[in-house]
Chain A
Amino acid sequence: MAVDMRTFLAHVELANPITTAAGCAASGRELAQFFDLHRLGALATRSITMAPRAGRPTPRMAETPSGMLNAVGLQGPGIDAFLERELPWLAQRGIRTIVSIGGGTVAEYSELARRLADAPGVTALEVNLSCPNIEDRGRVFAREGSAAAEVIASVRSIMRYDVPVVAKLAPDVADIVAVARACVDAGADALSMINNPLGMAIDTEALRPSLAAVTGGLSGPAVLPIAVRCVWQVHAALPGVPLIGVGGVMTGADAFQLILAGACAVGVGTALFHDPYACLRIERELEDLLQTRGFQRLADAVGLAHRPPGSAPRHLLVDSEESSP
């Protein structure tokens, strides 16, 4: 029997839990050359900013062991061009779209939310909190619970009630649970974690940093354990909050780890650079895994690893229930 792969992001139903990770699917059209985007649970856009952004100078990428560093600098078309060209293209095709936004001030995030509030085709709004706060010496919002909460509260008050607001959290913080709680208290309907932790590589031939921007976001399988840890900690503290697990997912088993840790949806990012069909493959592998483990619904596996040690494996539990009179 097929596994029921439906999942809920707050009250929004997704046909399956696999989404693209923000910033890893460009405008959507690039991946549409390879497969039908309707087969994704949702497509997350790159982080849209108010003005067009040219991003960082090159080199922007460096391969690292089981991962890569990137310093793209939110290159993107700006909100006007996004609303004119990119969002309608997705909306006309009925593709579930998580729009990611990025800004330098609370006012900028609010203005972006205002522009998106009436735009058709926004399934959910993801707030990229890993942007430098211009008003606070460039410290990123996600590092500071109060700064993150201020952004979320403002965006939540502007966005339509039926569009979930998702806070995207960074792992480079002393206490991710505190930031998560601040965002939820400020009105976040769901949380997405993790954004890239910061890393750095040095070119031993040029004797200089490999990236023009010196530091960059680390992604790929190298960061999966960090993502699992963050999802685990936040789910333990806030079990009722829907979590999108993101970070280094390359296989269905990786996605399954995040789901067992407490994620109800899984973002696939760097894997797309390696394999344009990664989302479909991971979804299929995840479904197979769930089926082999005796699950009928994905929802039954969410956070299951949190059950106390010594409790019986779930599929055995099902068997004993069925055999009992």
Chain B
Amino acid sequence: MQVTGTVLTTRRVDAYHALTVVAPGIAERYRPGHFVSVAVGGAHTSMITRRALTVHDVKPDYGGTVELVFTVRGPGTAWLAERRARDTLDLVGPLGRPFPLPRDPVHCVLVGAEYGSAVLFPVADALMERGCRVDFLLGGASADRVFGAMRARRMAETTTLTTEDGSLGLRGKVADALPSVIADTRADAVYACGPMETLRAVTAVAIEFDIPVQVAVEESMACGIGVCMTCVIPVIGDDGATRMVRACAEGPVFRGERVRFEDVGTIPFDALGAPGGGARHAG
């Protein structure tokens, strides 16, 4: 649904920005893993594609608020970073398919890189409500780019941090630390969000340990509602065939082992409808 939300608070979280927006309809329907899209630049803007944003928190205050986390990457997100309390935002959401949650109280490792970590906190809340044990593994290039370390420490059984420059926690990437975290916590499942490269490495570790991994991908989108067909990635379906599926409508959450990370940014030759081959195997 589309709502005109009012900005309640704005804050900086290390290298990132967070906006809390009053958006009752969206907050009500939100499930962990959903995202929202926001129009940027105001009424007469020259920026016509929406920006897909991660939801970090949903609260029932003021009829329902969502907290959106983003990093400034261009003029659109720079405009968003300049919003102040009482400004209005055009939001569409909740969008995408949420994270599936286990029925049983299992042990889950939540792996986040950069601001991708933000989406994991609502997941952690939902998992803990079901009696799951939650352990966090968060990372980033440097200390100021590890999102949510404090909150993770308060919530989780254990929290492991990694930075590439060694300024916080272990030196390295989240996937480097993942094997020992899985072993120590005797994890049954992995939830992950972050850049494609991180998700690829995390999925490889989970496959090695033979435990399920759910990943939320960050792919650039124009519409977020499944009509523009620009956010596609190669994903293997239940029938074993690879299809170019929309990260916004079929995702953003996928089973990690189904995503062909090595082939993101290409059309694999055996994908359904691929030029010169795949089409012949259709149906």
Contact = CB atoms under 8 A, between A and B. Distances in A.
A272 interface: yes
Contacts of A58: 219-220, 230-233, 264-265
Contact of B273 (A78, A250, A272): A78
Given A53-B279, A80-B283, A274-B39, A26 B220 contact: no
Interface stretch (A59-67, A153-161, A239-247, A296-304): A59-67
B222 A61 contact: yes
Interface size class of B (residues with CB under 8 A): 35 or more
B92 interface: yes
Nearest to A220: B48
Contacts of B48: 63, 66-68, 220-221, 250, 270-271, 273-274
Interface in B85-99: 90, 92
A273 B279 contact: no
B244 interface: yes
B261 to A, nearest CB: 13
Interface string B229-241: 1111100000000
Interface in B76-134: 76, 90, 92
A201 B234 CA distance: 25
B249 interface: yes
Given A34-B2, A272-B227, A274-B39, A63 B49 contact: yes
Contact of A275 (B2, B219, B274, B283): B2
A212 to B, nearest CB: 7
A72 B246 CA distance: 12
Interface in A237-258: 250
A271 B230 CA distance: 15
Contacts of B222: 61, 63, 68, 70, 273
B227 A31 contact: yes
Interface of B: 1-2, 39, 46-50, 76, 90, 92, 219-220, 222-223, 225-233, 243-244, 249, 264-267, 271-275, 278-280, 282-283
Interface pairs A-B: 5 shortest CB-CB: A52-B273, A61-B230, A51-B279, A273-B223, A54-B273
Interface of A: 23-26, 30-31, 33-34, 46, 51-61, 63, 65-68, 70, 72, 75-76, 78, 80-81, 212, 220-221, 250, 270-277
